[in-house]
Structure 1
Amino acid sequence: MTNRIYLIFVFLISVLFFVNCSSQKKIIQPNGNVKSLNTPFDDLAPSQRPEKGVSCEPCSNEFLSKVQSPENGVKPSKKFLTEFLELKYGLYPEAITFITDTKGYFSVAHPPDKRSSDLLGFPVHGFIGGTDIFEFDLENMTQPIKSLSDTINSIVWDSHPTAVSDEKCNVFLIWSSDRADIGGYSSPFLRIDKIKEVSDYSGNSDLFFAFRINGVWSEPKNLKDYVPNLNTTKREETPFLYCNCLKPVLFFSSDRDGDFDIFYVRLSIDFEKQEVSSSGQVIKLPRENESLNPTTINTEYQEFFPFIPKPLSEKKSENFMYFSSNRLSPPKDYNKETKISSVGGYDIYKFPVPEGLECTPPVITYNVRLLDAVNRANKVIKPIINMNSIKDNDYPFLKSNPGIESEDFDTHRATLIEQYLNNNNYKKDIKETVSSNENLASFKLKPGINYLFNGGSTQNEINCIEGVDRTISHYSIRKIVEIAPRIEKEQREIQFYEYKVKEKKVGYDTLRSEDVIDPSEITKYDNNTKIESIQMEGDKLKIKYYVLVSKKQVLEMDSVLVKKKITIDVPVRQFDTSYVMVNASNLALSEKTKREGLIRFNKIKEDITVDDTIYVWPQYYYYPPCEWRYVSDTAEMRRNVPYFMTCFWEVNTTSNLPRHLNLLRTDRYEDASFIELHKKNQYFGWDRPEITGDRVELRKQKHANRVERYRQFAKIVDENLKLMTDEIAKKIIPLFKELDSKSSGNQNKLIIVINGYSDVRPILRGIYLGEETIKYLSVGYDDERTKITNKSLVEVPPNASLVDPLNDYLSKLRAFNGYREILKRLEQYPEFKEYMDKGLVLVPDQINSIEEFNKMMDKSKILFFVEGRKIDTYVKPDIPAYAGEDRDYYILDPVRRIDVIVKRVDYFNGEIQKPKCCKPAD
């Protein structure tokens, strides 16, 4: 029996277990349930803490925040309060709203008294009613958080704050209250009927508002007086302000239709007048009734605490409304296998912001045109226009009137604004730069952001445009600055009165008094006392008198109006204009930036288009000549290096000539009669067999005259060399350097061609008496065809014969020594030495082969081409002697020379080419 009972018991247990197991169903959450935010308890009042650095300005707060994670930073208000304030027990958080990431308002219910707060260490003090609103500042938590004054809080229930601010950080606060002056009570006094006989014990909480301007709260006002049909005899609670930068919308919850649903109305908020008005009707969000899994915000359940996190996106699909609802608590059967249930009692849900309530910022189209200030029809080369968004730091000078008198604007306002921006290092505050490389750029701006527009050009090169004499090398900014005033003399007429004494009089100051005395005392008054009256009063005398205290001279004056001309110094303001090169790091401010400073749009409700302009001034590069020719002995032209001594190879300079004369006296030169100033020379020597007697002295005098003539020649040569090297180093090389640094796509080179010449008389006897071997690469250059015509290694050792009908070696020696003289002088100039030090000068005496020359051609910038051109056949004397007559040998003096031609050329793929853009030589 016992076993049977046991078996029956086991059977029943098994059946119950089976039935229980088979009856378990899968549980799902309703549409929109944010499971990650919900707990088994009530989760109310979703809110969001703005990201760090977001200002109180509504536009930057709503549109410029960054998306947070998870759930865009949304949490129940209680979560924020327990994190910030460590309110783990004793207080009942209801709602929190943020102005910035550290400042805002919250409400708590059932507060303890001050003694309990102190005992428990609560950071919240100053309770006024059953539920109060408090202001917090997380950066200043060393002091207790105090409730808002009794201006805002009442002795009953004040909760559910929502607040927004303007760009000045003034605050607009809306909250729910059941204060007595409008009748009725509500939560937390849900059982008010037990202590007070009222029929409407369910309450009629309303929405109130107040402004805080410059730190002072206005008196609370009931919104029903400003927004029709907002507050009713039922309860209006959990307000939330949305789209505050553009067209504010107030969401709130009301039980006017039986259960709590979410409504909205569009508002206009005027911080200056501290007024609120509606710009539409109060509308209830769509509602879906008796649905097992609602897809709308409003249902037959309770919906509270609407909240839309920031940033507000231009994409509809990215904006969500969070709210609290008790839908589907307790669970319901969804189908045979599934139950649908909330996580707790009140859960947080999210749905897309309802259609028609998107908060899309107005489109601010900002067009910036970059113009050539000299010729607006010309497009700016290599344009750049920047839109810089600037951090919301303190730029009071720019956000308001910069404080510059209006008449000063056209002269230097822009400079002052630019100086202010630079002094405050605005570049460190640039958050983002959007650039355009067009002459007309169109940008899309957002409200509430500081913008700075600048632009210019990155043009910094010289492009050859054939057929013109100049090109734009770069652009500049025009800057106008005030300098010391100019003092001008100005004559003015002034008027004043002169005073003259008309009559002199004597006057007295007197002191009046009266005494009552015995008759016997009358004698005490002396001559300075003048008695006016005496009266008897009983046995006494009453005396009235005055005393002469002082004597003074009284002058009677006549006045005369005088007119007079004077000269005064009048300061006259002066301004100086300078032009500073534009580049990517030094751009011109736009005209609106000059006038207004930072550009910012705060209260834009509709799409707008703004036009702005940036001016830059073109700076022209005038093409330099492609050729400078030093081939004449005429003073009016560029002069060459003439006056070599006949049959001699070194340049005749004032420093060389004495050395040359000494050499001619040495043993090595004993037989050098072929050299013109040698004592045995055929034409000027006196130590010759045929020269005897009186002819010796005549010859010596002729020789001395010739020496003196060469001294004068040497001075001319010195001057010619100085003028030549000065121009090459100080003018030609800088022009070449600028051109080369700004040219693109080619290699510029500067060729210095040095050609040596002999006159037509051939050397019939003579040798090279120098002590060093002259060795260099001779390069012939045809400047008409821009072509190298000859490259050959030249080597002239000591004692080499100079005998040649074309004087080839002599011309080669003269060309080389002329090159040395020029090089020696050029090396004294830093402009040339810079190229030498960098190894960018091709010099002929350091080249040992044609191959080496070709390599040096590629890398060098300045090239010396040195060549002996033999004899100059264009000048031929008619009289074969130094006879002192026309067309004798004296006409050959300037023929013995070196000519110098400086050529600017292009160099492509190993080929020299003539530049397309050349200015004729001066």
Structure 2
Amino acid sequence: MKPYTWSLCALLLWSCASKPPQVERPRGNLEALNSAAREFAPAFRPGNPDLLYFTSDRAGSEDVWRARVQLSPTGVVVLEPPAPDNSEFRRWLTSWGANEGTIAFLSPTEAIAAALRTPEVEQALALSGGMDLLGLLFADGQWRAFPLGDSLNSAAWDAHPTVGVRGDSVLLIFASDRPVDTPAPHRGWSFPFRNAVRVLPSGDTLRGNADLYYAWRINGHWSPARNLAEVPGGELLNTTAQEYFPFLFCIEHRPRLLFVSDRAGDYDIYLAELRVDFAHRSLEVLQVQPLPKGEDSLNSFFAELSPAIPPPHPSADSVRLLLFSSDRDTLARKLSEGRVRKNVGALDLYALPIVLECRPPRITYELVVLDRTDPRRPVLHPFLELRDASGQTITTSTTGRLRAELQPGRLYAAFGGSRHSSPECVAPEPVIIGYTGLVEGQELLSLHHPIPSELSQQGGFRIPTPSADTLVRDTLWLTPQWYTPPQCRWIFSERLADPLRRSVPYYQTAFWEVNTSANLQRHLSLLRSARYRDAGFIELHPSNQYWGYLWLEDPAQRERRRLRYERRVQQYAEFARTVDANLRLLADSITRIILPRFLEYARHRPAAKLIITLAAYSDIRPIVRGEYLGTDTVCYIGGHYDSLAAGFRVQLVCVPPGASLVGADNDTLSKLRAYYGYRELLGLLLRDTLVQRLRQSGQLLLPTDTRSVEEFARRAADASVIVLAEGRYYDPQVRPQLAGYYGREGDYYELDTVRRLDVFVELVERQGALYYRPPCCLP
């Protein structure tokens, strides 16, 4: 068994050893372009984005090769295999004994390359030293090379050019190991590295290395090359290690510099953020960071060299294709299931995606609306809009903050305001009812007049083309309009506890006119007139059965009743003084407090209306005899505001002379009292100039203005202040302890609260055909 078993194992081992492993290329390896030799320094000629130039020593020397490719953000498709460049361009770069092959194109007809020598004797005499930078021009169908001179080149090694072009100005960055006199972070560290060792004053040993240098070409003339360590932030870029293969990216908008350094131990690709000012020939290094590193990443644990990004650089897409060279996996790396991963040659070309933006600098415009009196307090219901030069709206916002991207040089204007017009109820505290802002020096209500922002005060604003992303901040200031919410309802009733409104009779029993001081003497004379001869049903008539005395035949009784009658008249004179004070208080409250507050409220709320209702009450006892003895027919629109129905309940009231007062509910008497109470209050109100103006402008509607209910409703829709009068029989809430007058002292007080005049003032807002109480009234 053992020999058989051994023979089987030997057979299996032979079979395994004879099966070739499955070879995989590292991620991003451009296998179709690579060879067993070295490929590096990819470059693209402007105007030919599908033509890739690179250097390869597959033919024995470092020559320029090219291949036709199709690029995408995710990879490279080779359309035609690599071949030696057969143009005049190749003659200048491949016929020399050695070259770095690094080409920087300024345009389709101009380039800069590095070479060790030139085949032309006269050109060779112009070289500065070892590896030099040469210029190349394409004219008459061929390329020709020329030296760039001592201002750029040195006796040491100068190579790896990259250029940034803006107009006719050029920024050149390249690598050089020319010696720095006094190495320091802000001077640089370069020194020829072939067998060179320097001991610094600090005792540290510095071995030869290369730094990155820069120069400007302005108006066709090159400035002297300077070490990049000398610019602000340059110490982040040049170090005591090697810095090679610079590549300028996005010089038009947001300059970045890709370069190679072994500062971390192996050669990795780094990215530097630059600030470039062509006008002042200034450079600044803002930050430097390595590209991501990992097994299949842009940087590996092997060497990465000669980064390049195909043109054009400006693009809306931030995903780019980074081409570079790497010697990763030069030795086969075993994977699972008999697979291995290996480079094609010693140094291969790679292409991997990288996220790098290159776009014109964005102008971001930000407009905020703020409360001028307290910027921390949010503006209620704001609106903002940005307009173009023609006045067309570009964008709007209702959040209090507007953001938009602007185009440089174009005219813009921003406006805004607040649509807040309904107060938000917060107990009796003052609330914001609107906002104003400045328009050409005038403070206007922003609800009706959009307010320009600070930048738009002079008709608009333009932002010039920036060199970097720019945030333009603008502010729109609004001033809040404060208002204390008005009461929904005021009640003036002698049943209230206020001493000025204490319970007194406003009318004599069975009489319709108000008992004021001015009226009382007239009433007493009237009651003795022939027209009122039979009006003993009126309380102060000399023939009244309770207080009168004329109907008594016994002289002694008549005299006692006369004295009692006189005392009663004096009491009514006291009552009249209280009624006078109450009516004055009522009129003053309306004209000095209620009406001004209402008009201020209505200035912001045009649909607001003030309803003044006079309610007169009759006697509690039914009248068994009596008639209206006035000389004129009383006619008015009687009724009241019904908050539940959100409207008026009105009717036409007409009482002619001689109308009977008899009735269980004393309806006619209450209607007469309502009319005469209205007349007394109106006379006081019309003394006020504010009421006079409202009357003259048609904004004050009286119950006697029309005898048509429909016409009254129509006028009420247009009026601001509406006056109503209503007879309310007697107040059923009053429960007198005594059923009538029995001659006892003070007994009449129990009934006097019935004969009163109440006034109700309502604040409402018209909504269509309905009238609602505002949401922000105080009870």
TM-score by length of 1: 0.41
TM-score by length of 2: 0.48
